[in-house]
Amino acid sequence: MADDSKFPGWHGTTIIGVKKGGKVVVAGDGQVSLGQTVIKGTARKVRRIAPGGHDVVCGFAGSTADAFTLLERLEAKLEASPGQLQRACVDLAKDWRMDKYLKNLEAMLIVTDGKELYIITGAGDVLEPEHGIAAIGSGGNYALAAARGMMDSKKDAESIAKDAMAIAADICVYTNGNLTIEVIDG
């Protein structure tokens, strides 16, 4: 069994980003759990930010306070480099890995401007996922597998994201079917 002693008992979520047909959809479930108890079922873990007039959609998994800290930092990076999502993500990942305070944050992000899709981790990673799908959180692998199985179908990005999240919610006890969905054109 994994050692969870360093965590306060918060578990999971599922966030997925699907890029297909000139659109990117980011969807996240609404469940917040503390140990084996569901604290809230309608949390919004997918948000739209618009630094410098450029729309960016972000989804987060992990500690909410930590994720909001990272979203604020990402927004500042995007204001400093308008329209340069990759540069802002790399700058955030560098800070996250090297800054004494940020280094301890427990969260992951999926970010997109409709053209690019990235996963940002505290290990200093900025990952551009294969097959146009990014997924994070406790149900992320289930949603990723489900979405990959649907990418060659006639379904659009939003349908794939919704269906993949439904599958993840059926499998992962830390994921529910109350979705927040943001769509952004590429």
Task: State the CB neighbour count (10 A cutoff) for residue 114.
Answer: 18
Structure tokens at 20: 């297909």
Longest pairwise C-alpha distance within the chain: 47
Burial of 90-105, coded b for 16+ CB within 10 Å and e otherwise, reads bbbbebbeeeeebeeb
The order of strands in the sheet holding 32-34 is: 10-11, 32-34, 37-40
Catalytic residue chosen out of the listed positions 13, 14, 112, 175: 13
- Report the chain's terminal Cα–Cα distance, integer Å: 42
In the beta sheet, which residues pair with residue 67? none
42 catalytic, yes or no?
no
**Residues noted as catalytic:** 13
